[in-house]
Amino acid sequence: MIQGFNTEITLKDSTYHIQTELVGSRIVSLIFLNGAVIADKQTKLEEPYHTESLSKEELKVLRKSMREQHMNMIEQLKGGEELPRDAKRPIDEDTDLISKFLDEWAEE
């Protein structure tokens, strides 16, 4: 199993949590504010990764891609850029947002 990245940043009295993980064949990054997902980015990989069967070099490349996406999300947040919303369905306040995002991406 490959470990993801988690970062907390405080900007203008608001604390944001940025999380990036490998989910199946996708690198998934989420930005949270007060427990709600306010931005998300997914990058589909060419093939599903079974991390236990990857060489050290392949793991290094995958980890680098995850770190780059994570850092890009942080820079967009810090720079005040428009944040990505890769999810296609509208968000319902009653729904567990993380499960909804992961279920949606697993369907593709």
Task: Check residue 104 and give left, alpha or beta (phi > 0: left; psi -120 to 50: alpha).
Answer: alpha
Phi, psi values for residue 38, rounded to 5°: -110, -15
Residue 106 counted as domain residue: no
pLDDT truncated to tens, each residue of the chain (108 aa)?
Answer: 678 999 999 998 999 999 999 887 889 999 999 888 899 999 988 766 666 777 888 889 899 999 999 999 999 999 988 887 776 545 444 445 566 666 665 655
pLDDT computed for residue 49 by the predictor: 64
Residue 23 counted as domain residue: yes
Residue 15 counted as domain residue: yes
Based on the structure, what is the number of domains in the chain? 1
Residue 54 counted as domain residue: yes
- Specify whether the CB–CB gap between 18 and 70 falls below 8 A: yes
- Specify whether the CB–CB gap between 80 and 62 falls below 8 A: no
Q: Give pTM, 2 decimals.
A: 0.76
Residue 29 counted as domain residue: yes
Residue 67 counted as domain residue: yes
> For the chain, how long is the longest CA-to-CA vector?
44
Domain of 18 in residue numbering reads as: 5-97
